[in-house]
Each structure stands twice: as structure tokens, then as C-alpha cells.
Amino acid sequence: MKKAKIVEKIRSVQSEKRFEHTMGVSYIACALAMRYDEDPEKAYLAGLLHDSAKHLKDEKLLAIAEKYHLPVSESERREPYLLHGKVGALIAKKTFGIEDKDILNAITYHTTGRPGMSKLEKIIFIADYIEPNRDKAENLPKIRKMAFEDLDLTLLKISEDTLSYLRSRKDRIDPMTEKTYEYYLKECVFNGGND
């Protein structure tokens, strides 16, 4: 499907605010791709589609996951919105014809991250957090600057802040969110944080 058509389809299901976020993620992902020698087109597409299942209600996310035999973890069953990455990747494939595994993984893991992420996965995870319309997270000015200096250190900082945010709210933490933090903590200490 043509890019302009994808943009229009996404616009038609998202609220104005979410659509602005989506476009923010696409453009920041593009800029990060330019900085880190990743393909800007892939980054743009992954950004555009990363929240393509975010407008769906919990029951719908669970129903889609069941219909397409997507594995649903205990944590996702309790907090079905965590499935919007996985289901988003399915939509990217089935509705928008995206076959690129790296783009699909970037969509799948954009909320929790995962150990050993690809460059594109890191870019989408980070762009989602720093895009210009985001305003809630602490340390954003620092993290925004960091993002253009060191991908792994930024990833570590974002997972650390996300964990403390979830703990402060007494939200349940998905094991993958924790694993991502632990992996990048080791990674950064071990290799000094260069990507």
C-alpha cells in the first residue's frame, strides 16, 4: 500500500491527538535513522504503524489475538493494552501488507522493549518516548538529547524511568519490561554504552 494511503487510513481510526503522536514518532524515528545509519523509510513506516492497534478496546485485542493464535502471556491477559504492539504488527502485515520482519518486530516490541533489540526496534522504542508531543515523562529534555548521542544508554534510561513510573503507580510490570532493563543495564556496563 502507498505511504499516503497508509497515512490516511491511520488518520481515519485515530483521534487527532493520537494521530499527531503517530506522525511525531514517524518523523523522530526518521531523524534517528539518519543519525544511526538505519533506513529512514523503514523507520517512518514502523513509526506510522506502531500504534495501529491502540484504538482497539481490550476485548477486541484479546479476540484478535485469539483468532490469529497470537501467544497471550499472563501479563497481557491481565493488561490487554499491552497487546497493542503484537496486534499492531498483525494489522501492519494483514491490512497494510508490511512483510519486513524488522518493521514488524519494531511494532511488536515498542511498549516493553526486549533484550537484544535491533537498531530499528531501538529507534521506534525511543522515538515513541521522546517525540515532540509527549510531555508527561520526567527527564525528557535530557533523554531527547541523549537519544541522538547513544541508543543503548537512552534505552536503558527509558526502561529505568518506565519501571519507576510503573512502580510508583503500583501497576503490574510485564516481565519483558524488566528483562529489557536488565539486559541493557548489563550491555551498557559491559561495553561502555556504545552501540
Is 121 among the residues that bind Fe ion (CB under 5 A)?
Answer: no
177 with 112: CB under 8 angstroms?
yes
Gap between the Cα atoms of 140 and 137, Å rounded: 6
For residue 138, what are the CA distances in angstroms to 48, 59, 89, 163? 25, 32, 29, 13
Residues between 25 and 64 with contacts to Fe ion, criterion CB under 5 A: 51
| Closest CB to ligand DGI among residues 72, 166 | 166
Q: Could you give phi then psi for residue 98, rounded to 5 degrees? A: -80, 125
The span of 124-132, 153-161, 171-179, 182-190 binding Fe ion (CB under 5 A) equals 124-132
Cα 102–Cα 50–Cα 29 angle in degrees, nearest 5 = 75
Are the C-beta atoms of 164 and 170 separated by less than 8 Å?
no
> Does position 128 bind Fe ion by CB under 5 A?
yes
Is residue 131 within the footprint of ligand DGI (CB under 6 A)? no
**Residue 192 beta carbon to ligand DGI: minimum distance, rounded to whole angstroms:** 27
| Residue in the block written with cell 529507534 | 123
Q: Cβ 177 to Fe ion, closest distance in Å?
A: 13
Among 191, 112, 188, which residue's Cα sits nearest to residue 154? 188
Residue 4 has a CB neighbour count (10 Å cut-off) of 8
Give the Cα separation of 75 and 46 in Å (integer): 24
Number of residues counted as binding Fe ion (CB under 5 A): 2
Give me the least distance between CB of 123 and ligand DGI, in Å please.
Answer: 14
Site for Fe ion contains 174 (CB under 5 A)? no
Contact stretch for Fe ion (CB under 5 A) within 1-9, 58-66, 126-134, 149-157 = 126-134
177 binds ligand DGI (CB under 6 A): yes
Q: Please give the residue ranges that form the binding site for Fe ion (CB under 5 A).
A: 51, 128
- Which residues contact ligand DGI by CB under 6 A? 21, 51, 54, 79, 110-112, 128, 162, 166, 171-174, 177
